[in-house]
Structure 1
Amino acid sequence: MFKHDPFLANTHSVDNQSGPLADYNLYLSDRALVNATQSLGENQRALLAEKGRTWGQADYLALGHQANLHKPIFSTHDRFGERVDCVEFHPSYHQLMGEAVTTGLHALPWQGGQSNAHQLRTALYYCHNQVEAGHCCPITMTFAAVPTLSKQPNIAAQWLPKLCSPDYDGDNKPWQQKAGITLGMAMTEKQGGSDVRANSTRAHPIGQPGGGELYELVGHKYFVSAPMSDGFLTLAHTQQGLSCFLVPRWREDGSKNPLQLQQLKQKMGNASNASAETELRGAHGWLIGEEGRGIANILEMVALTRFDCMMGSSAGQRAATAQAIHHCQHRSAFGARLVDQPLMTRVLADLALESEAALALTWRMAMALDRPDDAVEAALLRIGTAVGKYWICKRTPGHAYEAMECIGGMGVMDTGPMARLYREAPINAIWEGSGNVQCLDLLRVLQRHPECLTALWQALDTASAELPLLAPHVARMRATFQQPQAQLAPQARQLTAGLALSMQAMALITLKSPLAEAFCVSRLATHAGSQSLYGALPQGIDVAAIVKHAAPN
């Protein structure tokens, strides 16, 4: 008779696995971020350390997974047949939103009481985005709406106190009944896309026309981000041209505003955050500013949302780099740890260089945001948001893929964070103006505001004096910009990439990053980012030191 041997049931032991990157401090484990935040106050850095510890705990990181696993659910009507246009979110999404609002990610610079408030918000947002990116969409739009709403004092007086409140209320009820509110955007239409002047939505005054007055809007919007927000900034045509409106989800009398959701978008990424197709069937909205000034009145909002796009993509790069390095530190192959394998070390170092340069440029723009009265800083910011939005967001999908390959088959699994990071990576490059839009906007800015380029050359010359490796690249860029304007347009992508690399190098030098020299050696010799593959770093760069510097230990 066959005798059972219990040893035969033990097919293998589970070893040589990295385990999850969890129970670590998102702030203190990030040397580049710690270095950037040295200009902040002691209490501000203490807050970052506290939040970094909380947000890096395994149970808090799990909220990001849950919010994406359980996607928003849309109902047009309730069980009694009443139109509700309701989107329900998993509790994990509301927890993330609540924490973001309580921390001030939606309004910190507008709440007062903080020096360097944009920089503090940037550091906090950068960390929280690494937990989950989708909920950051309504946080960004709420934050960015303040300058536009401020153009209409009577509306600002009612809405801004609630918008800047540290209270989060995700209930589906009129905004007047809430202590805190969030805002969304409803800009894009089917026929126009980025060309909002092609919008067909019309607005008619209900009574007296003019700023702060109620209008009735009829039309459609193809992308309404965060449709459960309490109000939406949207564009519609009046007799005077394209104008900006604040459209609430509920009317003043407490009845539902006929802003009717048609369906939710089935998006590749950003799954936790709902986006909807919507029809405005006589929806009420207040005119913000003058009729016909819609684009001008919305531009400040767009500039801030673009800044948050580069910040979010920078956070995605950091999260991917940390995941890749963590995995390779704990897994061995062919007789050595992956992190010590020469080719893998070079790939990880290259990913780390990309990530730290993205953070450096983002941080440099946050510094400029904190100096609104400085003409030079304003000029750099005007260039930097377009340049950073283009380059950092454009580089992130390839960065995420390479980090995923470092992890291998486990990186593809939806049970871990890397697949979500990969799906999220293209979103910011497309949202708020795709690559061509950013490049053409940059050329328009430089043509209308030549002082911006003057300020940039001065800043780059200062940085070149500290690190002469930057100087030849800056000289090439200057020569290129001497061409007639008509010749620059076809080269807009190359020019924007070249400026991006220049500004990233400048930012690394300004922040005294130990990676500044390696970045210049690896990125500038080929001019305008012609390198296409990670891991092809020049000889002489101390790649092991770069990986150690970037490791999330």
Structure 2
Amino acid sequence: MTDPANPAPNALCAGTTHDVTNQAPPLENYNLFTVDVALGEALVRANAGWHRDTLVRHGAKLGEAATLALADLANRHEPELHTHSPRGERIDAIEFHPAWHRLLALLREEGLHALPFAEPRPGAMAARCAGYFLHAQLESGSLCPLTMTFASIPVLMREPALFETLRAPLFTREHDARDVPLAQKRSIMIGMGMTEKQGGSDVRSNRTEARPALAQTGRGAPYLLTGHKWFFSAPQCDAHLVLARTTGHDALSCFFVPRFRPDGTKNAVNVQRLKNKLGNRSNASSEVEFFDAWGVMIGDEGRGVPTIIEMANFTRLDCVIGSAALMRAALVQAIHHARHRSAFGRALADQPLMQNVLADLALESEAATVLFMRLARAFEESQGDGVRDGNGDADTALEARAWRRIVTPAAKFWVCKRALAFTGEAMEVWGGNGYVEEGPMARFYREAPVNSIWEGSGNVMCLDVLRALEREADAAQALFLAWRRAAQGDAVLSAALDRLAALLNGAPGTREASARRAAQQLVLIAQAVLLREGDGPRESADAFIATRLGEHDADCDRVFGTLPARFDHAAIVERALPSH
């Protein structure tokens, strides 16, 4: 019989069955910006190199263990709706974990809510987008009110009297979490309310009605709104841009609806419930009803959809960035894991098939990065109803207009779609560890669908591409001529352009049915051109073109990890995440 006081030398203590080995350490205390070679190169090409030092500081802050922990806390402690006070007053307050407010404070401290408008200079849009991309790798839910606030600014600037009262709290880099009237806020956030339960993307079917509050009507006049919104994004925002129908008008108008009336009382925007969502759980999304809610008409009466579409154009760009950021975050985690995990006698990252998967993911991620940075530049070069660029070059500005009006919705369709397959593949690199909620991969995967669905599903984006090609024929021609020049000497890229032209020039009855294929082909060509003209290795561009536009013509069934063996997979992975 064994003496408990003198166990056998090899006996294990109770509860200790093995040593923990062959587990990747957490990826923390690293700089998100300095390890991203492609982003740094794109920043310089976009005339935003002056922002590099800020991004180095920002990237280091986001990579700290304490900052990374905020994302987990904000998503585990979800927002709670309190419709009434203890005294029975209707308050519709949303309670958030402190981590949520810290995330919003980080975003505002970097000026990501207003930088190009508050501090305009060449490259400001790209600088802001690069910073947004870094934060989006940390946490997605906090981006929603931030991106809507950003996108509302160019719309509100068209209303001088209203904007003058909002300028300071919109532009400040302070985060003010208090739920008080606009006049008392040091900083504000703006949301949007478009969709209703009977219409979804078909906002022209909206039934919310607006009647004049006074004798004055039209732009700048106060109205009382009655109706509902099925997806009311970020109900805790200080005001929302809302679509409603005025008496006698078939077309919708746009209204600025604050949380509080001018007299300081709560506005009659009642939150019915918070949405129980697949992902984006740190952020509150809601259903609301208006009971004579007070609002001010912005834009001309009956021009609500064009008014709010300007806001939506900016949010589309942020959807592209947000999805590209999820891809980048998942890629970095996958490479880090593969370098620290061994199987069958050697590190995963050194095994040929795993190298192929990681390299293929790396190409996809870099292509998404250079694409959104080019779009950011286009938003700066092409402004308002005209075209211009910093050097007064009409052809360059016309091309920029095409990137903004035609490529942006196509990119929103394609990059957001690719994020779903991408995050799933990256999760698989982690194996079972990726499928559990203790790590970030499950959260990335749950976040991936939202950008594809929000503000225009895939079909809406692709149909918008067709409309933009028709309405912006001169810009489209300038873009395609530029791509033809870039494709000279590249048989695969030239053939892809031929296929796209044939698709777009097909019979009118087939164009709509082929809209997804056209948008996909357009984005892949755009990415191929950018990689070909960029600062990265020629081989990376060749590998992307061969596998996305080559023999299989970007077959939708293509899986990651099918790069031809002739390409240097290890070098592509090393560029994506330098090992030293």
What TM-score do you get using the length of structure 2 for normalisation? 0.93
- 1:479 offset after TM fit, Å? 2.2
In the alignment, what sits opposite 1:8? 12
2:350 alignment partner, one of 340, 343, 353: 340
Q: Which ranges in structure 2 are unaligned for 5 or more consecutive residues?
A: 383-387, 389-396
In the alignment, what sits opposite 1:379? 402
- 1:42 offset after TM fit, Å? 5.1
Structure 1 residues 397-408: aligned runs within 5 Å: 397-408=420-431
Identity %: 46
1:425 alignment partner, one of 433, 448, 451: 448
Deviation string, structure 1 residues 127-151 (Cα, Å, up to 9, x no partner): 0111101000101000001121122
Helix, strand or coil for the counterpart of 2:278?
coil
1:416 alignment partner, one of 411, 431, 439: 439
1-side partners of 2:467 and 2:193: how far apart? 25
Is residue 528 of structure 2 the alignment partner of residue 522 of structure 1?
A: no
Deviation string, structure 1 residues 483-524 (Cα, Å, up to 9, x no partner): 133221111111111111001111222323222121111111
In the alignment, what sits opposite 1:170? 177
Is residue 222 of structure 2 the alignment partner of residue 214 of structure 1?
A: yes
- 1:11 offset after TM fit, Å? 1.9
Amino acid at match of 2:444: L
Deviation string, structure 1 residues 218-256 (Cα, Å, up to 9, x no partner): 000011111100000010001322000010000101000
Deviation string, structure 1 residues 383-412 (Cα, Å, up to 9, x no partner): 111110000001111100000001000001
Amino acid at match of 2:232: V
Is residue 67 of structure 2 the alignment partner of residue 60 of structure 1?
A: yes
Greater displacement, 245-254 / 366-375: 366-375
2:567 alignment partner, one of 534, 541, 544: 541
Structure 1 residues 345-384: aligned runs within 5 Å: 345-372=355-382, 373=388, 374-384=397-407
Structure 1 residues 220-231: aligned runs within 5 Å: 220-231=228-239
Are the counterparts in 1 of residues 399 and 476 from structure 2 also a CA contact under 8 Å? Answer: no
Deviation string, structure 1 residues 290-345 (Cα, Å, up to 9, x no partner): 11000111111111000000000000000010011100000000011001111111
Are the counterparts in 1 of residues 407 and 465 from structure 2 also a CA contact under 8 Å? Answer: no
2-side partners of 1:52 and 1:468: how far apart? 40
1:289 alignment partner, one of 281, 299, 324: 299
Is residue 526 of structure 2 the alignment partner of residue 503 of structure 1?
A: yes
Amino acid at match of 2:404: L
In the alignment, what sits opposite 1:307? 317
Are the counterparts in 1 of residues 198 and 205 from structure 2 also a CA contact under 8 Å? Answer: yes
Is residue 160 of structure 2 the alignment partner of residue 157 of structure 1?
A: no
- Report the number of matched residues: 553
Are the counterparts in 2 of residues 231 and 246 from structure 1 also a CA contact under 8 Å? Answer: yes
What TM-score do you get using the length of structure 1 for normalisation? 0.98
Deviation string, structure 1 residues 101-149 (Cα, Å, up to 9, x no partner): 1211110111125431110011100001111010001010000011211
In the alignment, what sits opposite 2:101? 94
In the alignment, what sits opposite 1:188? 195
Are the counterparts in 2 of residues 467 and 509 from structure 1 also a CA contact under 8 Å? Answer: no
2-side partners of 1:494 and 1:164: how far apart? 41
Amino acid at match of 1:51: H
- 1:205 offset after TM fit, Å? 0.9
Helix, strand or coil for the counterpart of 1:326?
helix
Are the counterparts in 1 of residues 141 and 281 from structure 2 also a CA contact under 8 Å? Answer: yes
Is residue 129 of structure 2 the alignment partner of residue 106 of structure 1?
A: no
Deviation string, structure 1 residues 44-80 (Cα, Å, up to 9, x no partner): 1011101101111111011011110100011100111
2-side partners of 1:115 and 1:93: how far apart? 32
1-side partners of 2:457 and 2:57: how far apart? 36
2-side partners of 1:342 and 1:545: how far apart? 12
Is residue 43 of structure 2 the alignment partner of residue 20 of structure 1?
A: no
Amino acid at match of 2:546: V
Structure 1 residues 436-475: aligned runs within 5 Å: 436-465=459-488, 469-475=492-498
Amino acid at match of 1:538: P
Is residue 268 of structure 2 the alignment partner of residue 258 of structure 1?
A: yes
1-side partners of 2:554 and 2:404: how far apart? 20
Is residue 36 of structure 2 the alignment partner of residue 30 of structure 1?
A: yes
2-side partners of 1:111 and 1:121: how far apart? 11
1-side partners of 2:195 and 2:530: how far apart? 34
1-side partners of 2:131 and 2:578: how far apart? 17
Helix, strand or coil for the counterpart of 2:25?
coil
RMSD, aligned CA: 1.4
- 1:161 offset after TM fit, Å? 2.8
Amino acid at match of 1:69: R
Deviation string, structure 1 residues 336-371 (Cα, Å, up to 9, x no partner): 100111111111111111111111111110111121
2-side partners of 1:113 and 1:201: how far apart? 37
Are the counterparts in 2 of residues 96 and 135 from structure 1 also a CA contact under 8 Å? Answer: yes
Q: Which ranges in structure 1 are unaligned for 5 or more consecutive residues?
A: none
In the alignment, what sits opposite 1:130? 137
Are the counterparts in 1 of residues 193 and 241 from structure 2 also a CA contact under 8 Å? Answer: yes
- 1:531 offset after TM fit, Å? 4.2
Are the counterparts in 2 of residues 44 and 120 from structure 1 also a CA contact under 8 Å? Answer: yes
Helix, strand or coil for the counterpart of 2:192?
strand
1-side partners of 2:557 and 2:303: how far apart? 42
Are the counterparts in 2 of residues 326 and 552 from structure 1 also a CA contact under 8 Å? Answer: no
Greater displacement, 302-311 / 480-489: 480-489
Helix, strand or coil for the counterpart of 1:8?
coil
In the alignment, what sits opposite 2:416? 393
In the alignment, what sits opposite 2:332? 322
Is residue 279 of structure 2 the alignment partner of residue 279 of structure 1?
A: no
Are the counterparts in 1 of residues 48 and 127 from structure 2 also a CA contact under 8 Å? Answer: no
Helix, strand or coil for the counterpart of 2:470?
helix
Greater displacement, 443-452 / 296-305: 443-452
- 1:466 offset after TM fit, Å? 7.1
2-side partners of 1:551 and 1:516: how far apart? 17
2-side partners of 1:16 and 1:539: how far apart? 28
Greater displacement, 483-492 / 294-303: 483-492
Helix, strand or coil for the counterpart of 1:512?
coil
- 1:462 offset after TM fit, Å? 2.7
Amino acid at match of 1:232: H
Helix, strand or coil for the counterpart of 1:370?
helix
Are the counterparts in 2 of residues 107 and 143 from structure 1 also a CA contact under 8 Å? Answer: yes
